[in-house]
Amino acid sequence: MISIAKPMIGEEEKKAVLEVLDSGMLAQGPKVKAFEEAFAEMCDVRYAVATSSGTTALHVALLAHSIGPGDEVITTPFTFIASANSILYAGARPVFVDIDLVTFNIDPAQIEAAITPRTKALMPVHLFGLMCDMAPIVALAQAHNLIVIEDACQAHGAEYHGKRAGSFGTGCFSLYPTKNITSAEGGMITTDDEEIAERCRVIRQHGMRRRYYHDELGFNFRMTDVHAAIGLAQLQKLERFNEARIANAHFFNEHLAGVTKPIVPEGYRHVFHQYTIRVAGGRRDAVLEGLREKEIGTGVYYPVPVHQQRVYVERGYEGNFPEAERAAAEVFSLPIHPALSSAGLETIVVVVNELCG
């Protein structure tokens, strides 16, 4: 079986975890601090704040920017549900804007029409490892005085014209096991704003600035030193992992036929969290079945856009986002992770081309 994802855990991670266990410092401690510093450097920002997951990173980032009831946050309906859910957790309302046909990311040309006097922030999601078109998004944010919260949960090390994901506004990353690097579970918030970084640290730890003095309502969204030790060891390997993903994607781009392949616009570094292809004409399920028979793992990210999920329909969401709906019906992802062998890559190409070519 060729799996769709594979966490790459080596001796370094195991050794680092044992060191933490032996140290007796298990909760948020020196490893978390070291991981935060190294992560900030990777994103080329001044601060990083570790949390327990990508979801809690988004939640904390929204709260740190004082986004709450009565506010609207513009995002994409074609994403993992956590992007939009974090906005609901903060008490605000997600407002969806359709995606671009080619990149699967929010279409900047449609954002302005969704801005209202209640709009407080834009939440672009860098889906599958490809950043959103940030120049028009940042320009709109400046023109309308909006905050930018990047959902970079799938975009560790991705770049837009030489600038890293997580460095355009307040960035939020996931460290879930399927991501380009993992800490088993974990999240990271990145920012150049000292005050926002401090607010994130306070909200993550029960609203506590001084020990056992609680100035505001916070949470326990801390990362443990055990998780940080894994994350820190993984971070040293991020470039190697990303380059392996990019090389695998080049191989697919060269050899796959009969499917719509991912595009990398000029000036972008796509880090291929997923290699997502499109099979039109209602043929997707048959192709998925064919791949399953040949023991090739696949993933459908995502079969239902957020506005059509029951939890959103029950909250009165409807709307017409044709590209998101079409993508949900037509796309699927192939294995692209760094552990794939050349034989595995070749098998995938042969089987996909037989089914689609």
Ligand X SMILES: Cc1ncc(COP(=O)(O)O)c(C=O)c1O
The residues that touch ligand X, with contacts defined as CB under 6 A, are: 53-55, 79-80, 82-83, 125, 151, 153-154, 174, 176, 187
Min dist. Cβ of residue 227 to ligand X (A) = 11
Q: Which helix (H) or strand (E) holds 229?
A: helix 225-235
CA atoms of 209 and 16, how far apart (whole Å): 30
179 is catalytic: yes
Query: Could you tell me the smallest distance in angstroms from the CB atom of residue 349 to ligand X?
Result: 26
Which of residues 108 and 187 has its CB atom nearest to ligand X in the complex? Answer: 187
In the complex, least distance from residue 297 CB atom to ligand X, rounded to whole angstroms = 17
φ/ψ bin of 238: left (φ > 0), alpha (ψ from -120 to 50), beta (otherwise): alpha
Phi, psi of 146 (to 5 degrees): -110, 150
Q: What is the CA radius of gyration of the chain?
A: 20
The arrangement of strands across the sheet holding 163-164 comes to 163-164, 159-160, 268-269
Sign of CA dihedral 105, 109, 113, 118: positive
In eight-state DSSP terms, residue 128 is G
SS3 of residue 89 by DSSP: helix
Give the residue with the Cβ less far from ligand X, 256 or 306: 306
CB count within 10 Å of CB 11 equals 8
CB 45 to ligand X: min, Å: 19
The residue annotated as part of the active site, out of 179, 237, 261, 294, is 179
Q: Which two tokens stand for residue 96?
A: 């969806």
Nearest to ligand X of 153, 226 (CB atom): 153
Nearer to ligand X, 84 or 345 (CB): 84
Nearest CA to 187 out of 155, 222, 212, 162 is that of 222
Distance, in Å, from the CA atom of 185 to the CA atom of 130, rounded to the nearest integer, reads: 22
Please give the Cα distance from 92 to 87 (Å, whole number). Answer: 5
126 within 8 A of 152, measured Cβ to Cβ: yes
* Least Å from the CB of residue 127 to ligand X: 6
Min dist CB 119 to ligand X, Å, is 20
Q: What is the number of residues in the chain?
A: 357
Which region holds residue 87: left if phi is over 0, alpha if psi is between -120 and 50, else beta? alpha
- Residues belonging to the active site: 179
